[in-house]
Chain A
Amino acid sequence: NAGVTQTPKFQVLKTGQSMTLQCAQDMNHEYMSWYRQDPGMGLRLIHYSVGAGITDQGEVPNGYNVSRSTTEDFPLRLLSAAPSQTSVYFCASRPRYTEAFFGQGTRLTVV
């Protein structure tokens, strides 16, 4: 059982480039979410989804897009990367009203 799988693990982007962080889960969880972790800021919610076709904004959504076409996948798109988006990104999935399971993270550097 793979759980939550994130790709890539590391990425370096130039300012202005776009990219998609991939997240897949094989637990048939309804709820998926993206967080970023920055020093002193904890884990901040970017976007989340409560099922296929349904997404909503979290605490820090600006500069990011998401879509949920299947239960399994929840990609995060950076439209035009900025140095302020340098961070570690975590994807999580959970059944409703229980604990979330996290991926291993993607370390993104924007230069």
Chain B
Amino acid sequence: DQQVKQNSPSLSVQEGRISILNCDYTNSMFDYFLWYKKYPAEGPTFLISISSIKDKNEDGRFTVFLNKSAKHLSLHIVPSQPGDSAVYFCAASAHNTDKLIFGTGTRLQVFP
């Protein structure tokens, strides 16, 4: 049973526009959420996180939004750049378990 879901396997966006990546979760105990970026043949690298006590967190071009009632989070990238082309994973953990559970990933392609 997939606890963290990314329903869009791929997304294509023009350079300069906004990229919106979505993630849904089912476990109401999750209270910490993260986004990772992964290039081919490399390990995932951390992008941005959000605690369940917040509904928004910004870091430069990256903003994560959390809607707890809908069990939904999204990552906004503005403006999108060709170097943002990668696979993006969302992840979630619950304070009492230490397990970090990942989604299936969304491949973002930013074209000129």
Question: Which residues of A have CB within 8 Å of B49?
Answer: 98-99
Q: A41-B104, A43-B89, A44-B102 are in contact. Are A105 and B34 (CB under 8 A)?
A: no
For window 52-83 of chain A, which residues contact chain B by CB distance below 8 Å? 58-59
Q: How many chain A residues touch the partner (CB < 8 A)?
A: 27
The answer to whether A99 touches B34 (Cβ under 8 A) is: yes
Q: How many chain B residues touch the partner (CB < 8 A)?
A: 23
Question: In the complex, which of the residues B41, B95, B100, B105 contacts A33, with contact meaning CB atoms closer than 8 Å?
Answer: B100
> Chain A's interface: helix, strand, loop or mixed, by majority?
strand
User: Is B79 located at the chain interface by the 8 A CB criterion?
Assistant: no
Q: Which partner residue on chain A sits nearest B4 by CB separation?
A: A42
Q: A42-B6, A43-B102 are in contact. Are A103 and B95 (CB under 8 A)?
A: no
User: Is A108 located at the chain interface by the 8 A CB criterion?
Assistant: no
The answer to whether B101 touches A45 (Cβ under 8 A) is: yes
CB distance from A24 to the nearest CB of B (A): 14
Give per-residue flags for B46-76: 1 if the beta carbon is below 8 A from chain A beta carbons, else 0.
1001000000000000000000000000000
Give per-residue flags for A26-64: 1 if the beta carbon is below 8 A from chain B beta carbons, else 0.
000001010100001111110010100000001100000
Q: A42-B105, A97-B95 are in contact. Are A102 and B100 (CB under 8 A)?
A: no
Question: Which residues of A have CB within 8 Å of B89?
Answer: 42-43
For window 82-107 of chain B, which residues contact chain A by CB distance below 8 Å? 89, 91, 93, 95, 98-105
The answer to whether B104 touches A42 (Cβ under 8 A) is: yes
A56 to B18, CA, bound (A): 40
A residues neighboring B (CB under 8 Å): 4, 31, 33, 35, 40-45, 48, 50, 58-59, 90, 92, 94, 96-105
